[in-house]
Amino acid sequence: MKPKRKDELKEKGWDTSDIKNAEEILERSTRHDVFLSTLVFWSALVVIIFANVVVSFVLVPFLVVFDMWVLYTIIILLAGVVGFLYHFLISDIGHLETKHHILASIIVPVLALANMIVVVVVSNRFIEGVEIKNIPHNPYIIAIVFAVAFILPTIVLQIKNKITG
């Protein structure tokens, strides 16, 4: 508890033992809040990673059938939706340290990139194996488009929050 607050409580008639007891209760409450926030953070991270995997599996038929522009539109829409979900889940968790946000900002996009590369390579092999009249896609370009569309909602919402205060 801040010294100024302690002085205010003493002026209101609180004795030292009551102030110390209040400090202990507040500290206990803060530890529980931090623990629950960390638990929610890791749970949200698992949900986002799972959502990325699901979206990549949903994209397989689109990768096999559609040409470049339709495919990129679908990828941008799906990645944007998952990106909004990511921002919604991660940004509003209280009592998180900066290291948690940095960790999530690195882990999730890297896993999304890797996941998309694997899925595109697998779908390209399927295209070649079944001899579908679609050209194989560049896994790196698709992964980068997915990652950019994934992180774009977070960037846009952070800029909006800074502008609106």
The CA distances from residue 17 to 9, 27, 30, 55, 134, in Å, are 12, 15, 20, 57, 77
Predicted TM-score (pTM) of the model is 0.70
Question: Within a domain: residue 104?
Answer: yes
Question: Within a domain: residue 127?
Answer: yes
Contact 139, 120 (CB under 8 A): yes
Per the structure block, which two tokens stand in for 150?
């994934």
Question: Within a domain: residue 147?
Answer: yes
pLDDT digits (tens, 9 = 90+) for 88-146: 877 766 556 677 767 777 888 888 889 999 999 999 898 888 888 888 889 999 999 99
Handedness of CA 55, 157, 141, 67 (dihedral sign): positive
CA 18-22-23 angle, 5° bins: 115
Asked whether residue 30 carries a pLDDT value surpassing 60, the answer given is no
> Residue 121: which domain range?
38-164
Output the pLDDT for position 72.
Answer: 92
Total count of domains within the chain: 1
Output the pLDDT for position 75.
Answer: 92
Tokens 């530890």 map to which residue? Answer: 31
Q: What end-to-end distance do the CA atoms of the chain give, in Å?
A: 28
Higher per-residue confidence, 38 vs 96: 38
Output the pLDDT for position 1.
Answer: 55
Question: Within a domain: residue 23?
Answer: no
Question: Within a domain: residue 128?
Answer: yes
Q: How far apart are CA 125 and CA 133, in angstroms?
A: 13
Question: Within a domain: residue 43?
Answer: yes
Asked whether residue 78 carries a pLDDT value surpassing 70, the answer given is yes
